[in-house]
Amino acid sequence: MAGIILTPSAQDYLADLLSKQDTDGVGIRVFITQPGTPYAETCIAYCKPGEEKPEDRMIALDAFNVWVDAVSEPFLEEALVDYATDRMGGQLTIKAPNAKVPMVNEDSPLNERINYLLQTEINPGLASHGGDVKLIDVVEGGIAILQFGGGCQGCGMVDVTLKEGIEKTLVARIPELTGVRDSTDHSVTENAYY
């Protein structure tokens, strides 16, 4: 199976765990939270029949099925799931060397490059205030429309953060962009609510 490798000891250990579940056909699902960022974490969870997502890739093993999250799959290339025993018992380990590697480059679509910078550089700073920002759209003239959430909503510093921090970073790193606007900016009238 390309991508992710489960060693025989990991398969035996997981099969034993799954056999103790009270659901027939339960398997595992492998996914990465915040793939391609420094905050990526590889996760394995129980996956009862019907809990998998339609776009997941199924890998049929002898004892159980593995569902691989479609978004996470490129980041799980060369991932290794192993079960190692020592005198303290045993431990399931997951090594995913590509989990934190960004899958964007200069040829990636504009919105992917913007989202990558938001996730890796902008949002970690905003997270300390309980906030985040996400891309809504890119409109004519190379203006990125962003939406603030969490602790940023209603914060009096949003305009300063937008212009001094986010706009400077994005415009410097993504040549197609000329500026950014908050989605609640009333000078953006195309979709304004009256």
Q: Is pLDDT larger for residue 53 or for residue 107?
A: 53
Whether 105 has a pLDDT exceeding 60, the answer reads yes
- Single pTM value for the model: 0.59
Assess contact for 18 and 46: CB atoms under 8 A.
yes
Looking at the predicted structure, is the pLDDT value of residue 188 above 50?
Answer: no
Do residues 56 and 123 lie in contact, with contact meaning Cβ atoms separated by under 8 Å?
no
Which two three-digit tokens encode residue 110? 């504009």
Q: Which pLDDT band holds residue 1 (cuts at 50, 70, 90)?
A: very low
What percent of the chain is predicted at pLDDT more than 70? 93
Short-list 112, 4, 9, CA closest to 57: 4
Q: What is the pLDDT of residues 75-97, one digit of tens each?
A: 999 999 999 988 888 999 999 99
- Give the 3-state secondary structure percentages of the chain, helix then strand then coil, rounded to 5: 25, 30, 45
pLDDT(185) > 80: no
Judged by average pLDDT, the poorest of 32-41, 45-54, 111-120, 157-166 is: 157-166
Max avg pLDDT among 57-61, 98-102, 156-160, 166-170: 57-61
Tell me the C-alpha distance between 188 and 186, whole Å.
Answer: 5
- The pLDDT value recorded for residue 51 is 94
- pLDDT by residue (tens digit) across 39-55? 889 999 999 999 999 99
**For position 166, what pLDDT does the model report?**
86
pLDDT-derived band at 67, boundaries 50, 70, 90: very high
